[in-house]
Amino acid sequence: MNEWTIAIIKVVFIWSWTLLIATIMTWVERRGSALIQDRLGPNIAGPFGLFQPLADGIKLFTKEEFAPKHAHKILFTLGPVLFAIQAFSAYAVIPFGDKIVINAKEIVLQVADVNIGFLFVLAVGSLAVYGFVVGGWGSNNKYSLLGGLRATAQLLSYEVPLGLAMLAVCMTYGSFSLREISLDQAGTFLGFLPNWGIFKQPLGFLVFIVAAYAEANRVPFDLPEAESELVAGYHTEYGGMRLGLYLFGEYVNLYTLSALMVTIYFGAWHIPYVDMSSYLGPLAYGIVSFLVFFLKCAFFLWLFVWVRWTIPRFRFDQLMGLGWKSLIPLGLLNLFVTAFLIQITV
């Protein structure tokens, strides 16, 4: 196998894997909310209702691609497409395991190990704004427009604290590459704490996770689609697979953000105090590292669901206040403290 074949296999794998996760997440969301709310949730299609996402997918695909008469024909389609493209491309630089050895050939479990991984994630992630605002504008509907505007302001505001938190991580590990940061998190520091980002950057993690929820448009930050105020916000006019792209894109984003959190704060594929590679063969190690990484992601995915069905929604001014008055100062403080600590320890 040459480099190209491997790269294509990895791209196809991660594409279908994120799509699978997004599909399963719709099931987890519905069953999870049912669990929290004393209901059953979808349980008819397949065992535990597991085929429900499949049925939903078929439904979305076979629906008429209807566009309202007053909508802008090109922008109306461009919105969801842009959103889906950014959702699927952001994962390219995030690892999904350590490495796997097949036929004495070492394959890194990451599509592209670029040395500016962080910047790539931020840059691609911020394209989501275009998905919302183009869709909201193209729908030519006041609710959609308001949703799109809300999304723009919200995503732009919360990218700043997100970036600040990630910058502090870069300073701690001295690298922009997500793979190098992952590798650095093996072992322990101060003798007993795992060498994970969360222990080195507790405040940074707090800022990051709040900003991540806002970036993902989830409760308590789901203002762009606040159903009780804006009907469905930017996707009010959408139906069929165009709506499907928005919905899938949202779950793919959740997975990307969870994976990012795991990569930079929760030791990627490392298990604390255990060095797996010394116990397992190279192939088994690759698979186990993938599974460990995925389980950690699964926890954060579940956290997204859990939070969504537990707390109410912010008001728009409160959302902005939290972003600009709390998270950004906290992020800056975190940055200064990190810089100071690096100065005195190095």
Partner 1 sequence: MGPVKQRIASEDYVTINVGPSHPAMHGTLRAIAYVSGETVLGTDLEIGYLHRGVEKLGENLTYHQFIPITDRLNYCSAIANNVAYEMAVEKLMGVEVPVKAQLIRIIMTELSRIADHIVLVGILGVDLGAFTPFFYLFIQREEIYEIFEWYNGARLTNTFGRIGGVESDLPEDFETRWHELKKGLEKAIDETDKLLTHNRIWMDRTIGVTPISAEDALSWGFTGPCLRACGVKRDLRKDEPYSLYSQFDFDVPTGKHGDVFDRYMIRMIEMQESMKIIDQAFDLYKQLGPNEPLMAKVPKIIKPPEGEVYHAIESPNGELGFYIKSDGTDKPYRIKIRPPCYMIFQAFDELIQGEMISDLIACLSSLNIIAGELDR
Is 143 an interacting residue with respect to partner 1 (CB under 8 A)? yes
Choosing from 192, 273, 317, 344, the residue that interacts with partner 1 (CB under 8 A) is: 317
DSSP states of 260-302 as a string? HHHHHHS-TTPBTTB-GGGTS-HHHHHHHHHHHHHHHHHHHHH
In sequence order, the 6+-apart residues with CB closer than 8 A to the CB of 10 are: 107, 109, 110, 111
State the distance between the two ends of the chain, measured CA to CA, in whole angstroms.
Answer: 43
Choosing from 316, 324, 332, 333, the residue that interacts with partner 1 (CB under 8 A) is: 316
3-state secondary structure of 193: strand
Token duo for residue 315 = 């008001």
Choosing from 26, 199, 314, 331, the residue that interacts with partner 1 (CB under 8 A) is: 314
Task: Write the binding mask 323 to 342 for partner 1: x where contact by CB under 8 A, - elsewhere.
Answer: --------------------
Stretch that binds partner 1, among 140-148, 170-178, 269-277, 281-289 (CB under 8 A): 140-148
Choosing from 19, 24, 36, 298, the residue that interacts with partner 1 (CB under 8 A) is: 36
- Site residues (CB under 8 A) for partner 1, limited to 184-223: 219-220, 222
Choosing from 146, 212, 259, 288, the residue that interacts with partner 1 (CB under 8 A) is: 146
3-state secondary structure of 108: strand
Token duo for residue 70 = 């007053």
Please, which residue, 75 or 153, has the CB nearer to partner 1? 153
Choosing from 16, 188, 310, 326, the residue that interacts with partner 1 (CB under 8 A) is: 310
> Buried (b) or exposed (e) across 11-36, using 16+ Cβ within 10 A?
eeebbeebbebbbbbbbbbbbbebee
* Chain residues in the site for partner 1 (CB under 8 A): 33, 36-39, 142-143, 146, 219-220, 222, 226-231, 309-318
